[in-house]
Chain A
Amino acid sequence: MDAASQATAARGERVARLKDFFARNLRSYDLREDEDIFKLGFVSSLFALQLVEYVESEFSIEVADEDLDLANFRTLAAIASLVERKHAQSRAA
């Protein structure tokens, strides 16, 4: 498998894990990758905290102050991209 295919597969796997977390917490709503979770009204203040906690522990990253941008958490795809960026940052470091 070439690097591009590997990256795509890794991204797909991240999205699947995130989807599973949302399904468990949103009473089986089948969230699409590009759906805006804030517009859907799913995000209570408690869920926002749970989401940060989940993303950190599940993907072994630290969500820093500067990452607390709604755009980073708006969709499954955005969260997966954040995780990808954080992993890339830690690899570079």
Chain B
Amino acid sequence: VATPVYAAAHEETGARLGLTRLQEERRAAVRAFVVQRVAPGADAWDRDQRLPPDVIAAVAERGWFGAGLGEEWGGLGWDAVSSGLLHEELGRGCASLRSLLTVHAMVCHAIARWGTGEQRARWLPRLAAGELLCGFALTESAVGSDAKSVATTVTETPAGPVLAGEKRWVTGGQIADVLLVLARSGAGPTAYLVETDREGVERTPVRDLLGMRASMAADYRFASCVLDGAARLGREAFGFSHVFAHALDLGRYTVAWGCVGLGQACLDACSTYVREREQFGAPLMEHPLVQALVTDMIVGVQAARLLCLSAGQQRDRRDPGALVKTMMAKYLASKVAARSASDAVQIHGANGCGPAYPVQRHYRDAKILEIIEGSSQILQMVIARHSG
């Protein structure tokens, strides 16, 4: 198996990108970890369809499960740009590992933003430490983008609120300790925190996904699952419009950065390959049509990174325009990732279709990135509607 190359191919970093010294130090620390512990194993994890517990524990030890959470909750209190860089670097090594951090951050963010003091104190310190892991349970068999139409219900009974229904494609669901579930109460879509060891919760591992196979996704069924009185997160009927919408906004942001990382990984792989591989007596890089593919990759990744950075800076300023900018960043970055991965396979030819090179994994992972946290088509519709 070819060793992933970290040649920093055509990559803007540090001051040239407008990062502070602290942001660059954080990025360097994550990159060092990814080079050492993540990238070398990512293809094997993809084949095994699981992430090694020791790697997850190593991420937790470094505090990255709580990177964006405030220090008062045991988080690292990183700014949005730093959190973005964390996801770029992890996404460069392994999209599945990055996806685990994305859903975890989404749920933490929702609790920090909409939780009661009691809920924050109960959950956030252990989530920040990575002692407990989260799952984000929104999608159902019949409900994808039209998330407000969830069929899972919560009914008030003398024994407490009773959850009934099913959720699909829960990233990290195989190992999640607590889920953020969107269910319909009498008043409308409402958010609930549900422990996965609660009676009536049943999970089924999802295998053989197209991509992000090591993300350990699971489907869930809730059969008359009685929740405790403190399970509801946020007001009734505000579950989608505020709790999930906030979480999805953060998810979109981190996925966008993850796409940049995946695009950069394609560039890294191709940068070496086109110089080493010869056809018709010359390195591939000498062939103009290969140059065109590489150029599109360089320019696309760079543009996506700059848009993500702009979204991050707006988020750090708490500019309300950051919501739409984040959508733009996710839309562009996921397209760039998919295009870069497709072109990377094309450049690698038959080698790109086999297990010896990582580009086939990137290609499969990239397709998923165009669907999750707002499909490209949903984002196009919203961005167009909110254009000035």
Contacts and interface: CB of A to CB of B under 8 A. Distances in A.
Given A65-B235, A68-B234, A49 B318 contact: no
B326 to A, nearest CB: 11
Contact of B234 (A46, A53, A56, A65): A65
A57 B319 contact: yes
10 contacts: A45-B245, A46-B386, A47-B386, A50-B321, A50-B323, A57-B317, A57-B318, A65-B116, A65-B234, A66-B235
Interface in A24-76: 27, 44-54, 56-57, 65-66, 68
B187 to A, nearest CB: 12
B238 A68 contact: yes
Contacts of A52: 242
Nearest to A66: B235
Interface string B225-267: 0000000001100101110011001000000000000000000
A46 B321 CA distance: 10
Given A48-B241, A50-B320, A65-B114, 18 more contacts: A21-B320, A27-B388, A45-B245, A46-B245, A46-B323, A46-B382, A48-B242, A49-B249, A49-B323, A50-B323, A53-B320, A56-B318, A57-B317, A57-B318, A65-B234, A68-B234, A68-B235, A68-B242
Interface string B313-325: 0000111111110
Contacts of B386: 44, 46-47
A48 B245 CA distance: 10
Interface residues of A, number: 18
B241 A45 contact: yes
B122 interface: no
Nearest to A55: B320
B21 interface: no
A54 B386 CA distance: 16
Contact of A51 (B114, B318, B320): B320
A26 to B, nearest CB: 11
Interface of A: 21, 27, 44-54, 56-57, 65-66, 68
B323 A53 contact: yes
A65 B241 CA distance: 13
B16 interface: no
A47 B235 CA distance: 19
Contacts of A49: 241-242, 245-246, 249, 323
Contacts of A56: 318
Nearest 5 CB-CB pairings of A with B = A57-B318, A50-B320, A54-B320, A53-B320, A68-B235
Interface residues on B, range: 20 to 34
Interface in B114-158: 114, 116
Nearest to B249: A49
Contacts of B238: 68
Contacts of A51: 320
Nearest to A54: B320
A50 B314 CA distance: 13
A21 to B, nearest CB: 8
A65 B238 CA distance: 9
Contact of A44 (B240, B249, B385, B388): B385
Nearest to B240: A45
A48 B238 CA distance: 11
Nearest to B237: A68
Contacts of A53: 318, 320, 322-323
Contacts of B234: 65, 68
B193 to A, nearest CB: 14
Contacts of A45: 240-241, 245
A45 to B, nearest CB: 5
Nearest to A50: B320
A57 to B, nearest CB: 4
